[in-house]
Structure 1
């Protein structure tokens, strides 16, 4: 059996379910279900709540679901919001490594104007050299129709939740926030892409303030199936530049980061923290069986991770540390914030985070001929002070919404970045246009975004 440890992402929609195929051999399903049950009895954080006599005749997806101690606000407020199963273990592992079939752009969907059933898509960012980039899409683009059908609250899922070629019709918002339907169309065909999560960085200089800014979209150490730590090294190089330029304030943009590998969270934390390699970054709390087995095998070191000694660390020179966050920031993003809080004055700008203080593990049964992959919650995460009090999310110190008029990364007009720069320097570097302020009020009408469907989408993964 193969397994990899993670810190869960919120995965919704197409990754979870499987229809029962009447041609499937029931004996194979029973073997798969026995494998699922054995692993869940050992690994699952809530293994003491697994039914004593589960129905092994169910299809694997339904059987897995029947074992879970699912969250219920009234009955099970301490329950599981994040475990999932996927029919293809190969696709599960690829998605966790940042590889997926995609048009190459992430977007949010929102009702616009507020109070109507009309839906628009707002492009959050575009992967370089992707089909979306080659067709001309950029951050901030808005589309209102797909395949010549206007998006509404009843058809957007059907029009968008397929992996075939699509034609998007662009629209725009004028300075007063009025939607103007356009005629420009862009055709995009999804392909399998590897996403580089280290997206943008720059340094701002305002008098004595030298402010490093980095945009990080997912905690992934390297491309899928690579063993080169490429993306972690890319962050190392950015922090080398920050250090050489005497950066004394830092803004880390995690607003679209749903989580990922804990190893990458530890790496980034070690570039930032006012701490040493002898200091605890975070603790892991498991069920009694995993705890007993691994305490005997590995000792207490199994249950915590320390910071790594990094020559690129800028903590000693940092006077201020800000994270940009949103309702899409989860899991490893929150682990990073929680782990740094005992060592530094951490400030958050944006909106409330997801609240994922638990971690998962990837389980595959390739050696047994089982094609399914499991991503169950196996642990709870705590910082050096044994605090894990963010199950409902971190509240921002400075609440700001980005609205529906988006600015390029690094623009001080961006509401979240602009607020962080103001808090650091005491000066408003740039002001938004009137329409942007109006459109911030539309944030409450957001329906969903493609970020929540990313693996890592609230996942913290232990590798």
Structure 2
């Protein structure tokens, strides 16, 4: 009997010890039923702790009862303008913009005489707007019957993102007035991948290549290689890269572009430095390594066969120049002279990747797009969160109507060409009397990449 009593006592002590250990292990870590909103939010929190650049600034005790999108936002640093989350099962959770819904963008500007006009600045090829007859340079007088003003521009932009069809009253700008007004109906729809557009300008026997790049998708290296092969065969001596509307995309494609321009680089030449949180650490990649992250990319050495070997490059920019396109500007600087023409860029000096539930079957449909790394060039230079300022300031709206991209008389292009051919950099290109009041692709109105 005594032995039996001692056995029960020992069993009780062991049980208390196990319970005590369990309580200590779980201290501060709530447990929620699988599939509940709280459990999804806990997955979000765990993922962000692992990857988020500002993980050490996240609140220690967030409110797990919040809707998932609100919970995600509650974790973000005040320095973060770009992280977002979407539910793959809910299309309404995806960021919306005039550009990704209808395929165009516009700017509301105040002219020197005080009048306010809205000009179409971008129309994507094979987009709903393009197919409806909208053109760059047109003036929009009304959206859904409402006259656009500085006061209602942002409200109108937000409202059309909640619709599937919009009515535009548009006309052409002639002699400081709108003529030939007509109505255009634009339906929400898909915009196809944008082509690279190139031109070769020649003056006094000197050739300048021009390349407009809308974005940096994976798989673009064959198209880049083809364009540069044509430039090289033509014997161009200067190059203008137009990324004024380029939100970014694949860093591998940006690295491929960079490999085609300067002289003196090799596969082992350093291209980029990624700096993450205490889990991510520091990652360095060469040109060849970064390009290879796109499984469909051409090899570095194949690209280098068509490299131009230039000592300087002209890059056209605006506040819509972001992410991978800013990396092109910053990461070419250790290897050549970069002459930036236009406006200050957006200031997305960071990179990341999508974080999602990798279990099979997947139990959580949310996808996170957090800032994971800050990016730097081969010399360790970066920290351009306030944007990269141009050497030659030029305002796209200094002269109306806006001319087609690729036209040598277009304001930013002509500013670069003036520098190349006559050394009169940016003459009359920045008209302080013209004020930009609103743009449909500002960070508050557009999707960030």
Question: Which residue in the other structure is 1:289 paired with?
Answer: 279
In 2 relative to 1, CA 159–169 (structure 1 residues): closer, same or farther, beyond 3 Å?
farther
Question: Which residue in the other structure is 2:171 paired with?
Answer: 171
Deviation at 1:441, TM superposition (A): 4.3
User: Matched residues in 2 for 1:190 and 1:65: separation?
Assistant: 28
Deviation at 1:108, TM superposition (A): 2.1
Question: Which residue in the other structure is 1:124 paired with?
Answer: 121
Equivalent pair of 1:107/1:451 in contact (CA under 8 Å): no
SS state at 2:340 partner:
strand
Higher alpha-carbon deviation: 54-63 or 127-136 = 127-136
Which of 369, 376, 380 in structure 2 is aligned with 1:382? Answer: 376
Deviation at 1:348, TM superposition (A): 0.4
Equivalent pair of 1:169/1:182 in contact (CA under 8 Å): no
Higher alpha-carbon deviation: 255-264 or 317-326 = 317-326
User: Matched residues in 2 for 1:385 and 1:430: separation?
Assistant: 29
Matches within 5 A, 1:208-223: 208-221=205-218
| Cα RMSD for the two superposed structures | 3.2
Equivalent pair of 1:258/1:330 in contact (CA under 8 Å): yes
Question: Which residue in the other structure is 2:349 paired with?
Answer: 357
Question: Which residue in the other structure is 2:285 paired with?
Answer: 304
- Quick check: 1:52 aligned with 2:60? yes
SS state at 1:417 partner:
helix
User: Matched residues in 2 for 1:149 and 1:338: separation?
Assistant: 42
Q: Deviations over 1:121-154 (max 9, x none)?
A: 3222323333322222121111111222212322
User: Matched residues in 2 for 1:351 and 1:126: separation?
Assistant: 20
Deviation at 1:157, TM superposition (A): 3.0
Question: Which residue in the other structure is 2:440 paired with?
Answer: 449
Equivalent pair of 1:272/1:313 in contact (CA under 8 Å): no
Q: Which has the larger radius of gyration?
A: 2
Equivalent pair of 2:262/2:309 in contact (CA under 8 Å): no
Equivalent pair of 1:123/1:142 in contact (CA under 8 Å): yes
- Quick check: 1:134 aligned with 2:115? no
In 2 relative to 1, CA 146–420 (structure 1 residues): closer, same or farther, beyond 3 Å?
same
- Quick check: 1:83 aligned with 2:86? no
Aligned pairs, number: 396
SS state at 1:184 partner:
strand
Question: Which residue in the other structure is 1:410 paired with?
Answer: 406
Question: Which residue in the other structure is 1:29 paired with?
Answer: 37
Deviation at 1:401, TM superposition (A): 0.5
In 2 relative to 1, CA 400–185 (structure 1 residues): closer, same or farther, beyond 3 Å?
same
Q: Which has the higher contact order (CA 8 A, sep 6+)?
A: 1
Higher alpha-carbon deviation: 162-171 or 333-342 = 162-171
- Quick check: 1:264 aligned with 2:272? no
Higher alpha-carbon deviation: 139-148 or 39-48 = 139-148
Question: Which residue in the other structure is 1:102 paired with?
Answer: 101
Higher alpha-carbon deviation: 143-152 or 55-64 = 143-152
In 2 relative to 1, CA 419–430 (structure 1 residues): closer, same or farther, beyond 3 Å?
closer
In 2 relative to 1, CA 52–327 (structure 1 residues): closer, same or farther, beyond 3 Å?
same
- Quick check: 1:64 aligned with 2:72? yes
Equivalent pair of 1:85/1:372 in contact (CA under 8 Å): yes
In 2 relative to 1, CA 93–413 (structure 1 residues): closer, same or farther, beyond 3 Å?
farther
Equivalent pair of 2:249/2:324 in contact (CA under 8 Å): yes
User: Matched residues in 2 for 1:311 and 1:377: separation?
Assistant: 30
Deviation at 1:370, TM superposition (A): 1.8
In 2 relative to 1, CA 409–354 (structure 1 residues): closer, same or farther, beyond 3 Å?
same
Deviation at 1:444, TM superposition (A): 2.8
Unaligned runs of 5+ in 1: 1-24, 72-79, 222-228, 292-299
Unaligned runs of 5+ in 2: 1-32, 289-299
